[in-house]
Each structure stands twice: as structure tokens, then as C-alpha cells.
């Protein structure tokens, strides 16, 4: 009986661990560090790398502010220059090599690369919105930075 319970527990643990994550984006893929070389390093385009974790990627997380940032960014991706490729990286128990290479400390972090050189790094400030000063929420502030950067790419 004890062996059966252990087997059952392992089966449940495996099934929850191996479940596919449904990413909130339709217009850009999430890749692994195994695909980094072909998708990013060897690309002749500008590459916008989006680093997220489970709070950004799962719609069931109570604080959906990061998830909403991903959805807003995804909305604009079709209007980006054809010279720009957008890829995402899940930092939640994945992609350790890329996370350490780019020294990702907080999510979301957005990095723009060209020829494997960092052109711009953007991170959320997480400051509270302030109507009197015109400061928007961090999602909109970060999205604004990303869109202003992307508009300069031809």
C-alpha cells in the first residue's frame, strides 16, 4: 500500500510538472535556451527578448498586472518592423543559461539586441501611478518605452 501511495504521489507530481504552459501571446513565441543560438544569436534582425516568469505567463495568478503587460505587448507586435523579431523566455525554472548571461534580476525585463550586442535594456519600475504627475502604471510605462524603442527600428 505504501508503495502504491508513493507511486500515485509521483504520478501527480510528474503530471503537474510536465503540464504545458499556455503562453498569453499569439504574435511571438516563447523559446528555450536551446533555441537561443538559432533564434537570437544567429539572427540578422533586431531581436526583442522578453523575460517573464509564471506571474506574467499564467492568467490564474492573482496579481495579473504582469500578465496584462504581456497581452498589451502582444497586441502591438504585428505592427512592428519586419526587421525585428520578438521572442520570449520563461524564467520560472527554465532558461538558466540565458538568465545568467543577461543577468536578469526582475521580470519583466525587455532587452533589444542586434548582432548579439545589447542596444537597450528595459525593466519595470513598479512605481505607483500618479495622476497629478501623469505617471501611468508600470505596465503602460514599460510598454511606452518598448514602443518608442521599436519605432526607431526600420
Q: How confident is the model at residue 15 (pLDDT cuts 50, 70, 90)?
A: very low
pLDDT digits (tens, 9 = 90+) for 78-132: 999 999 999 999 888 788 899 999 999 888 899 999 998 999 999 987 777 676 7
CA nearest to 40, candidates 76, 89, 78, 1: 89
Statement: residue 62 has pLDDT above 60: no
Domains of the chain from N-terminus onward: 42-151 (3.40.30.10)
Statement: residue 31 has pLDDT above 60: yes
pTM of the model: 0.78
Alpha helices in the chain (DSSP H): 2-17, 36, 54-57, 65-76, 96-101, 138-151
The reported pLDDT for the residue numbered 17 is 46
Looking at the DSSP bridge assignments, the partners of residue 112 are 48, 120
Radius of gyration for the alpha carbons in the chain, expressed in angstroms and rounded: 18
Amino acid at each position: 500500500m505504501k508503495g502504491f501511495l508513493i507511486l500515485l504521489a509521483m504520478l501527480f507530481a510528474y503530471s503537474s510538472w510536465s503540464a504545458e504552459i499556455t503562453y498569453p501571446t499569439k504574435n511571438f513565441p516563447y523559446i528555450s535556451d536551446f533555441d537561443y543560438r538559432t533564434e537570437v544569436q544567429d539572427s540578422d534582425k533586431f531581436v526583442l527578448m522578453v523575460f517573464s516568469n509564471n506571474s506574467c505567463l499564467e492568467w490564474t495568478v492573482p496579481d495579473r498586472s504582469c500578465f496584462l503587460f504581456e497581452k498589451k505587448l502582444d497586441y502591438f507586435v504585428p505592427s512592428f518592423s519586419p526587421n525585428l523579431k520578438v521572442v520570449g523566455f520563461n524564467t520560472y525554472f527554465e532558461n538558466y543559461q540565458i538568465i545568467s548571461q543577461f543577468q536578469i534580476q526582475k521580470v519583466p525585463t525587455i532587452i533589444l539586441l542586434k548582432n548579439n550586442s545589447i542596444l537597450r535594456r528595459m525593466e519595470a519600475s513598479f512605481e505607483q501611478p500618479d495622476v497629478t504627475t501623469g505617471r501611468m502604471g508600470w505596465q503602460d510605462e514599460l510598454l511606452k518605452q518598448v514602443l518608442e524603442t521599436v519605432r526607431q527600428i526600420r
